[in-house]
């Protein structure tokens, strides 16, 4: 790190946080961009993310100025099954970003849904917000409609409520109720707060149940509702201010809701 960049160490915010705030990448991805020598500040190529930047610093990614800090925006997407949650897929499968109009610019997902899962997926243009929403400490519940092959019992669901360890991974308490039975299948409503990788599928398998459909219906206060498969809909700023709390209020603009 050169002298020009070093001058910014005592002010502003970390460079990885700035890159995340403008929607270039998550903080972790931003650190990789820096390690690859793709980020410069005031003409100096960064080699470490241990740098603070202020509003007057000139930041380039691959030689191009990064976007200005934008007001926070959030969208609801009804992810179909068979669509992967990634920007690029090595197997050339359809991704959720194929469903996003290019005019929205760089957006990122809040958490993930696996290939076979469907339902509500939140997207945002702010990496800080995406990370905050994903944290278990934020306390937002994720609710699912789950169809399983097998015969779930109240005793099984009681095990979920206490938390389970499967293949060495500890899963926190999961709320579940039986909604209906259809032949060899049963429909459950499942609510959890951690959202670890393939969590529902793994705990159900440990109980002798096989998930054959998984639909997320809510993420915190945001609901899937009647949003059609593959459709995208922006959450109005008024709703964001009401639901995200005071710490995000000043970063949510008053832009009008418009079709996407």
Catalytic residue positions, numbered: 114
Q: How many angstroms separate the CA atoms of 37 and 21, rounded?
A: 20
Q: Which value, in Å, is the radius of gyration of the alpha carbons in the chain?
A: 21
**C-alpha distances in angstroms, 43 versus 10, 25, 33, 49, 51?**
18, 21, 16, 16, 14
Please give the Cα distance from 161 to 168 (Å, whole number). 18
Q: Which residues contact 227 (CB under 8 A, 6 or more apart)?
A: 76, 77, 78, 120, 233
Best CA proximity match to 9, nearest among 38, 35, 61, 46:
46
Helix 27-35 with 127-134: angle, nearest 10 deg: 130
HEC-encoded secondary structure of 180-222: EEECCEEEEEEEECCCCCCHHHHHHHHCCCEEEEEEEEEECCE
Give the contacts of 121 (CB within 8 A, at least 6 positions apart).
76, 77, 78, 79, 85, 96, 109, 110, 111, 113, 216
């Amino acid at each position: 790190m050169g002298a020009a960049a070093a001058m910014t160490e005592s002010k502003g915010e970390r460079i990885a946080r700035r890159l995340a705030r403008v929607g270039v990448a998550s903080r972790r991805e931003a650190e990789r961009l820096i390690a690859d020598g793709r980020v410069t500040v005031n003409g100096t190529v960064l080699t470490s993310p241990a740098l603070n930047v202020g509003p007057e610093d000139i930041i380039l990614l691959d030689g191009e100025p990064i976007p200005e800090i934008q007001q926070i925006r959030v969208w609801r997407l009804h992810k179909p099954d068979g669509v992967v949650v990634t920007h690029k897929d090595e197997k050339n499968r359809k991704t959720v970003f194929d469903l996003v109009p290019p005019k929205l610019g760089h957006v990122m997902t809040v958490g993930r849904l696996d290939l076979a899962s469907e339902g509500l997926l939140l997207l945002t243009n702010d990496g800080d917000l995406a990370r905050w929403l994903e944290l278990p400490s934020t306390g937002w519940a994720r609710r699912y409609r789950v169809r399983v092959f097998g015969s779930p019992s109240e005793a099984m669901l009681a095990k979920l409520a206490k938390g389970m360890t499967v293949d060495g991974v500890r899963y926190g308490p999961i709320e579940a109720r039986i909604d209906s039975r259809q032949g060899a299948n049963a429909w459950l409503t499942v609510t959890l707060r951690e959202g670890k990788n393939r969590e529902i599928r793994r705990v159900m398998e440990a109980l002798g149940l096989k998930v054959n459909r998984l639909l997320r219906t809510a993420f915190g206060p945001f609901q899937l509702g009647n949003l059609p498969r593959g459709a995208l809909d922006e959450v109005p700023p008024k709703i964001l201010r009401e639901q995200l709390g005071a710490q995000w209020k000043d970063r949510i603009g008053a832009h009008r809701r418009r079709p996407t």
